[in-house]
């Protein structure tokens, strides 16, 4: 191939060395996703030149919709290289070679793998965001990728030392593998927007959390995390005797997403079942966007940020008839936090990765000089958490009122 591909130097040996397993782990913004996405397309191109046909499988543990997949990254990578752009055909929901001999398939490993493996010749499987892929998904996937010369590529941001992915690919990597660590300082194209975020995290987050996000460290529970030992991630099915569903919505503006959540209460536990969110979501598209992800939402009361009355009345007339504003009061954030902490556990469904992320990152301010944890809530990583507070507002208000008026026992 004549074209010179631009790769971060640390990843050159990964792709230059023949090996069945290739991978990279490390912090945010290192160029892992972008590079691996591009190289899947280069790999497909090379296999096609050798006369092969089949599937490039891009897997995730869970995939509710194509939005949760690597589709956009793959499209972007292909468009960035003229020879790839000429070779592939890109549709809204698909990517395939122009002769249709090679196609990308995007799938959740937990639920969709069985249906794929009977059908397709998998030439390559790339799993991005692989930290949460379970041992059972790996042990099912690996024998499925069995074509001659097929490969398995893995990229992830480490979180738990004993996660299935970390054990398999970092602590005891398979023979025939080349797996490297990549952090933002290994990315020659680390963009300014991410540098701004990094600096803001360096200023606002405690060091353990900062190092987890940006330097690829395992995540340690920190005293600064507001919900540190309250939340767990676990699959569940809501039952008839649960209270709810409670829906909450937080409007976004500028770089903040508009987000919504669906939650339940049962046996002193709070369950977060579904979430949806998007940056730059137009008001006219909001109801459809949310209803595609939370089908029943229009039948329930949805509690929303009262700062945007005109948006609420628009949504009320266009698709979400029962939406209503939630009033704030002095201390409503702290009351909301106290209420959330009063649950025995907060159980987050693993498909709600964005919610889970906020629960990890939502923190008290830490004093830079002394390391003291201050009684100040950092106003960041709180879009879904705000939506949860709105959803539960009638339950929280009791707390606010109890503070304002002497407690009366009936
Ligand atoms: N080959 C490249 N050319 C141009 N920009 C790149 C390239 N690789 C990475 N970047 C920039 O770096 C950013 C972070 O890369 P990404 O692959 O998302 O990192 P990670 O997956 O490690 O978090 C991208 O959004 C992009 O702006
Ligand atoms: Mg990535």
Span from the CA of 81 to the centroid of ligand 1 (angstroms): 15
Residue nearest to atom 14 of ligand 1 (CA): 29
Strands 257-266 and 269-279: antiparallel
Task: Tell me, yes or no, whether 245 and 155 share the same domain.
Answer: no
Per the CB < 8 A criterion, the answer to whether 193 and 28 are in contact is: no
Task: Tell me, yes or no, whether 267 and 164 share the same domain.
Answer: no
Closest atom, ligand 1, to C-alpha of 80: 3
Span from the CA of 225 to the centroid of ligand 1 (angstroms): 28
Q: Which of 189, 195, 197 to mutate to test the pocket of ligand 1 (most atoms within 8 A of CB)?
A: 189
Q: Is 234 helix (H, G, I), strand (E, B) or coil?
A: coil
Q: Where are the alpha helices (DSSP H) in 269-352?
A: 283-293, 309-317, 332-341
The ligand placed nearest to the CA atom of residue 26 is: 1
Residues 208-263: tens digit of each pLDDT: 888 999 999 998 778 889 998 899 888 899 999 999 999 999 999 888 999 999 99
Cβ atoms within 10 A of the Cβ of 326, count?
Answer: 24
Residues of the chain with pLDDT under 70: 1-3, 119, 399-410
Task: Tell me, yes or no, whether 281 and 364 share the same domain.
Answer: yes
Task: Tell me, yes or no, whether 182 and 63 share the same domain.
Answer: yes
Of 159, 186, 213, the position where a domain reaches its end is 186
Q: In CATH, what number is assigned to the domain containing residue 358?
A: 3.30.420.280
Residue nearest to atom 16 of ligand 1 (CA): 31
Q: Which of 30, 31, 40, 79 to mutate to test the pocket of ligand 1 (most atoms within 8 A of CB)?
A: 31
Residue from 123, 109, 144 nearest 48 by CA: 123
DSSP code at position 218:
P
Task: Tell me, yes or no, whether 268 and 392 share the same domain.
Answer: yes
Task: Tell me, yes or no, whether 166 and 248 share the same domain.
Answer: no
Does some domain include residue 67?
yes
Q: What is the pLDDT of residue 400?
A: 59
Closest atom, ligand 1, to C-alpha of 24: 22
Does some domain include residue 291?
yes
The ligand placed nearest to the CA atom of residue 215 is: 1
- Cα 336 to Cα 118: distance, rounded to the nearest angstrom: 49
Residue nearest to atom 9 of ligand 1 (CA): 31
- Cα 330 to Cα 308: distance, rounded to the nearest angstrom: 18
Task: Tell me, yes or no, whether 249 and 377 share the same domain.
Answer: yes
Task: Tell me, yes or no, whether 133 and 21 share the same domain.
Answer: yes
- Residue 190 CA: distances (Å) to CA of 57, 183, 187: 27, 10, 5
Q: How many domains are contained in the chain? A: 2
Which two structure tokens, joined as six digits, stand for 319? 């698709």
- Cα 359 to Cα 340: distance, rounded to the nearest angstrom: 11
Q: In CATH, what number is assigned to the domain containing residue 177?
A: 3.40.50.300
- Cα 391 to Cα 291: distance, rounded to the nearest angstrom: 17
CA atoms within 13 A on the CB side of 333: 14
Span from the CA of 33 to the centroid of ligand 2 (angstroms): 4
Residue nearest to atom 2 of ligand 1 (CA): 189
Cβ atoms within 10 A of the Cβ of 409, count?
Answer: 3
Span from the CA of 128 to the centroid of ligand 1 (angstroms): 14
Residue from 109, 117, 111, 113 nearest 60 by CA: 109
Closest atom, ligand 1, to C-alpha of 38: 1
Closest atom, ligand 1, to C-alpha of 37: 17
Does some domain include residue 380?
yes
Span from the CA of 25 to the centroid of ligand 2 (angstroms): 9
Does some domain include residue 129?
yes
Q: What is the pLDDT of residue 353?
A: 87
* Kind plus residue range of the DSSP H or E element containing 107: strand 102-108
Q: What are the b/e assignments for 196-226, b being 16+ CB within 10 Å?
A: ebbeebeebbbebbbbbbbbbbebeebebbb
Span from the CA of 197 to the centroid of ligand 1 (angstroms): 14
213 Cβ contact list (under 8 Å, min separation 6)? 27, 28, 157, 201, 205, 361
The ligand placed nearest to the CA atom of residue 189 is: 1
Q: Which residues' Cβ are closer than 6 Å to ligand 1?
A: 6, 28-35, 187, 189-191
Closest atom, ligand 1, to C-alpha of 128: 21
Residues 199-208: tens digit of each pLDDT: 998 888 877 8
Q: What is the pLDDT of residue 408?
A: 42
Per the CB < 8 A criterion, the answer to whether 269 and 343 are in contact is: yes
Length of the chain: 410
Span from the CA of 31 to the centroid of ligand 1 (angstroms): 4
Of 186, 216, 248, the position where a domain reaches its end is 186
- Cα 275 to Cα 384: distance, rounded to the nearest angstrom: 8
Does some domain include residue 224?
no
Domain limits for position 291: 231-404
Does some domain include residue 123?
yes
Span from the CA of 29 to the centroid of ligand 2 (angstroms): 7
Of 186, 213, 246, the position where a domain reaches its end is 186
Task: Tell me, yes or no, whether 115 and 262 share the same domain.
Answer: no
Task: Tell me, yes or no, whether 180 and 313 share the same domain.
Answer: no
Task: Tell me, yes or no, whether 161 and 286 share the same domain.
Answer: no
Span from the CA of 322 to the centroid of ligand 2 (angstroms): 38
Q: What is the pLDDT of residue 223?
A: 85
Residue nearest to atom 8 of ligand 1 (CA): 31
Task: Tell me, yes or no, whether 27 and 87 share the same domain.
Answer: yes
Does some domain include residue 204?
no
Does some domain include residue 376?
yes
The ligand placed nearest to the CA atom of residue 28 is: 1
Per the CB < 8 A criterion, the answer to whether 184 and 194 are in contact is: yes
């Amino acid at each position: 191939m004549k074209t010179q591909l631009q790769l971060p130097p640390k990843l050159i040996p990964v792709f230059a060395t023949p090996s069945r397993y290739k991978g990279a782990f490390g912090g945010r913004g290192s160029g892992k996703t972008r590079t691996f996405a591009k190289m899947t397309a280069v790999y497909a191109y090379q296999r096609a030149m050798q006369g092969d046909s089949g599937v490039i499988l891009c897997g995730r543990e869970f995939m509710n919709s194509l939005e949760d997949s690597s589709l956009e990254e793959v499209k972007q990578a292909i468009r960035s290289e003229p020879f790839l752009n000429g070779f592939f055909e890109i549709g809204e929901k698909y990517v395939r070679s122009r002769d249709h001999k090679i196609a990308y398939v995007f799938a959740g490993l937990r639920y969709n793998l069985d249906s794929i493996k009977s059908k397709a010749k998998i030439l390559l499987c790339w799993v991005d965001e692989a930290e949460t892929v379970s041992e059972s998904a790996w042990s099912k996937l690996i024998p499925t990728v069995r074509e001659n010369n097929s490969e398995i590529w893995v990229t992830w941001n480490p979180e738990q030392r004993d996660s299935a992915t970390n054990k398999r690919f970092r602590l005891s990597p398979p023979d025939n593998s080349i797996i490297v660590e990549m952090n933002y300082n290994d990315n020659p194209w680390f963009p300014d927007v991410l540098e701004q975020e990094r600096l803001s995290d360096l200023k606002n987050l405690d060091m353990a959390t900062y190092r987890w996000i940006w330097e690829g460290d395992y995540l340690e529970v920190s005293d600064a995390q507001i919900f540190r030992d309250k939340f767990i991630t676990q699959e569940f099915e809501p039952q008839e005797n649960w209270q709810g569903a409670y829906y909450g919505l937080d409007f976004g503006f500028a770089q903040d997403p508009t987000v919504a959540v669906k939650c339940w209460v049962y046996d002193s536990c709070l369950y977060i079942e579904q979430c949806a969110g998007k940056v730059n979501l137009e008001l006219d598209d909001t109801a459809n966007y949310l209803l595609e992800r939370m089908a029943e939402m229009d039948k329930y009361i949805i509690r929303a940020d009262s700062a945007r009355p005109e948006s609420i009345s628009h949504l009320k007339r266009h698709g979400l008839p029962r939406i209503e504003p939630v009033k704030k009061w002095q201390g409503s954030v702290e009351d909301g936090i106290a209420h959330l902490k009063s649950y025995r556990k907060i159980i987050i469904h693993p498909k709600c990765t964005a919610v889970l992320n906020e629960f990890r990152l939502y923190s008290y301010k830490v004093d830079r000089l002394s390391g003291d944890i201050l009684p100040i809530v950092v106003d960041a990583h709180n879009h879904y958490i705000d939506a949860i507070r709105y959803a539960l507002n009638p339950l929280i208000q009791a707390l606010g009122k109890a503070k304002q008026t002497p407690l009366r026992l009936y």
